[in-house]
Structure 1
């Protein structure tokens, strides 16, 4: 089995490598190719990757290359984890929206739109080259904004599934609180990427006992603390929202906070410098503890599960993925990309049935889906007016004066990445 990681020079990659090494019985990778244009970073990451495999007794071959076509040739699956513009672009995404009184964040709001505009054309070009070289390969997208990027891939006819680590993080957290193994916990997870709610927590599978009320009753304070939301709000909602919902439920509070502390992008950039220095140490043969603070927790387990399911191997029978709606949520268009539990096999994911969704959540999903449709149009066709329309539609923007100011700033800060600007 051959897997290719595009963006293999990311500091995330050793997390993925560690998972491939530990879970080799689930996903027996014979050749792993790391593709990245940043040659120096790639060699540092590749060297550590080989040492991790060697220490854990994995006999798979690790190849590093900047040649995308060669890297994806013959691959059974291609994982996308790239960041167009790097951390410098992320820093801008988190900064200029605050000038208009809006959340500055890399995956939602105006910053998320900027990332989509930079990313979608690049990902589609990569996917076309994968299709030319190896049309049977699955594309697993971990590149944010996952929902919009996955929709672009599926709309273009690619064999693609989107992946996020939010659900697996909740699964691990809840399992620890309940004193059970993660495999015992099945989430009733519903929404869009980075706009999701856990509406049930079941023991043993999709038909198991729902212990969400017990979980909130006994551990509500701890869960609310992790989300930086009031315990009373969780009790009133009766669900556990993703931590990204704080941008919607406490927008003004978050904007005030972001204006008074260093950006996450600056923290990550400093962390990446330190990580790369560590990766260059020939004595290092395991992922360092610092990597846990970088983000992407449990990404490797989720990626192994998904790849194994798509390629006909082991893996969990049900997995949370980003895939086409196709009637799963009747209040959304069939071609919307939703994030739900699905049965995953070689033919792709099949979403499980979802009970009726509370209008409080369904309304926000519909609103953001409309924004994502406009955002994808702007990413594919360009133009100032299309950017303005997407921003005006976003529930975190919504006012024409904000949308005007944000449009000007978005284009000014991203001109080098926008072919039409």
Structure 2
């Protein structure tokens, strides 16, 4: 039976990543016949939506396929009868990320988009929005799949399942894609000769690799990493080597983000140096964004520019588009996703969200069993997952005590009075996007709490 053409809605459609998403859909059109694409954004993102949306249509016009790209600020208009909804939005735009990074750094602790205090607050802002999207989907496109790329992807995806009661959701990240694109060549192999097995959480996973004969080659790749070969570390992570003795012992390859935990001292030092000189990663990315959108304005540009690879989310389309195509065509492709555990990682409850290798088909993700972890990795995993649960509950309920619990549990946040001060300043800085914490924010304002970092304070005073 011939399947119907597909309607895709992308929320956060004004993102600089959208051209890569279009490229992925164009490449897969023969197996994923798209009828229409709707790009959705908010009023503050209208200009970028129009720029990138016009470019997206140029990309389709330059292809052999007749696909219409619709632009709208009305989410509900777009969602009606959608087949797939992808999410790539940033609540508060890049200015919110600037504050997430600078406020912790101003007190000598890590400021980072998905780790530490900044990652917690990104979840606080994002989870209520994703849950409101799910409510609209229940009414307007109850059979659609939600493909989430919005960070922190693991927590956002788990909140959809746990609090949104929506099972047709898959969370994605480009980090495993980068590893699988680069690691095979370090040992003279191609990806189709290797089998990858991932297990852990979003931005906190490990993986093993096997060759075409079923022999494990993880150690060979580890050895190659210390011979100067590129293992696919994301562009946004400072490349400080792991201790080789640690990797030799665990016999697994950690995610690039593990540097914030395994080499915390060095990563914090590097982050503070940038904070005090050229600015944090968000401030650097703002410049890259401006350059990209200037390129996107070019009426002759009808393909993804190479400069997009400078953004930390390069290769997004390889994950998002392949996932959608695999669901639509029941391809059973191997993709690393955030999905329900169901025993794949026995060190965590079956109903928790994990990032694992999975086969993707019409019924969604079928997680591949990884097995129990060793004590060190199991300890890290269980600590981080319990921290995530505290974050998710605080995001939904606005419980300040639970937010404080998350801060105290997080390995990037030294517990004590300073941690509480950073929590309070971030609440004030993001007041506009945290209605669930309104009572506590009002109390902090009445007490005269102010923001220490000049840049973050100025952005907040300007309502940005």
**In terms of mean alpha carbon deviation, does 261-270 or 58-67 score higher?**
58-67
Residue 324 of structure 2 corresponds to 307
Aligned partner (choices 401, 404, 421) of residue 405 of structure 1:
421
User: Superposed, which structure 2 residues align to 1:359-370 within 5 Å?
Assistant: 359-370=375-386
Task: Write the distance in 1 (CA, Å) between the matches of 2:427 and 2:242.
Answer: 37
Residue 166 of structure 1 corresponds to 175
Task: Write the distance in 2 (CA, Å) between the matches of 1:230 and 1:309.
Answer: 35
Structure 1 unaligned spans of 5+: none
Secondary structure at the residue paired with 1:260?
Answer: helix
Task: Write the distance in 1 (CA, Å) between the matches of 2:67 and 2:186.
Answer: 36
Task: Write the distance in 2 (CA, Å) between the matches of 1:333 and 1:236.
Answer: 26
Residue 257 of structure 1 corresponds to 270
8 Å CA contact retained: 1:33, 1:71 = yes
Task: Write the distance in 1 (CA, Å) between the matches of 2:30 and 2:186.
Answer: 28
1:32-53 Cα offsets, whole Å, 9 max, x none, are 1111122221111111111112
TM superposition score normalised by structure 2: 0.86
Task: Write the distance in 2 (CA, Å) between the matches of 1:275 and 1:70.
Answer: 28
8 Å CA contact retained: 1:220, 1:234 = no
Query: For residues 53 and 414 of structure 1, do their structure 2 counterparts lie closer, same or farther at Cα, with a shift above 3 Å needed?
Result: same
Residue 349 of structure 2 corresponds to 333
Query: For residues 335 and 281 of structure 1, do their structure 2 counterparts lie closer, same or farther at Cα, with a shift above 3 Å needed?
Result: same
Residue 66 of structure 1 corresponds to 73
Task: Write the distance in 1 (CA, Å) between the matches of 2:299 and 2:59.
Answer: 11
Deviation at 1:236, TM superposition (A): 4.0
Residue 190 of structure 1 corresponds to 199
8 Å CA contact retained: 1:27, 1:304 = no
8 Å CA contact retained: 1:224, 1:231 = no
Aligned partner (choices 218, 221, 225) of residue 227 of structure 2:
221
**2:370 pairs with 1:354:** yes
Deviation at 1:26, TM superposition (A): 3.3
Query: For residues 180 and 51 of structure 1, do their structure 2 counterparts lie closer, same or farther at Cα, with a shift above 3 Å needed?
Result: farther
User: Superposed, which structure 2 residues align to 1:1-80 within 5 Å?
Assistant: 1-37=6-42, 38-80=45-87
Query: For residues 32 and 178 of structure 1, do their structure 2 counterparts lie closer, same or farther at Cα, with a shift above 3 Å needed?
Result: farther
Task: Write the distance in 1 (CA, Å) between the matches of 2:291 and 2:185.
Answer: 30
Residue 286 of structure 2 corresponds to 269
User: Superposed, which structure 2 residues align to 1:11-160 within 5 Å?
Assistant: 11-37=16-42, 38-155=45-162, 156-158=164-166, 159-160=168-169
**2:390 pairs with 1:382:** no
8 Å CA contact retained: 2:347, 2:372 = no
Deviation at 1:191, TM superposition (A): 0.6
Residue 245 of structure 1 corresponds to 258
Secondary structure at the residue paired with 2:206?
Answer: strand
1:263-312 Cα offsets, whole Å, 9 max, x none, are 11011111111111111110111111111101212110111111122223
**In terms of mean alpha carbon deviation, does 85-94 or 170-179 score higher?**
170-179
Deviation at 1:123, TM superposition (A): 0.8
Task: Write the distance in 1 (CA, Å) between the matches of 2:115 and 2:242.
Answer: 22
Superposition misfits of 4+ residues, deviation over 6 angstroms: none
Task: Write the distance in 1 (CA, Å) between the matches of 2:79 and 2:194.
Answer: 35
8 Å CA contact retained: 2:335, 2:358 = yes
Query: For residues 255 and 218 of structure 1, do their structure 2 counterparts lie closer, same or farther at Cα, with a shift above 3 Å needed?
Result: closer
Task: Write the distance in 2 (CA, Å) between the matches of 1:224 and 1:110.
Answer: 30
8 Å CA contact retained: 2:134, 2:160 = yes
Task: Write the distance in 2 (CA, Å) between the matches of 1:223 and 1:238.
Answer: 18
**How many correspondences in the alignment?**
417
8 Å CA contact retained: 1:224, 1:234 = no
Structure 2 unaligned spans of 5+: 1-5, 234-238, 439-464
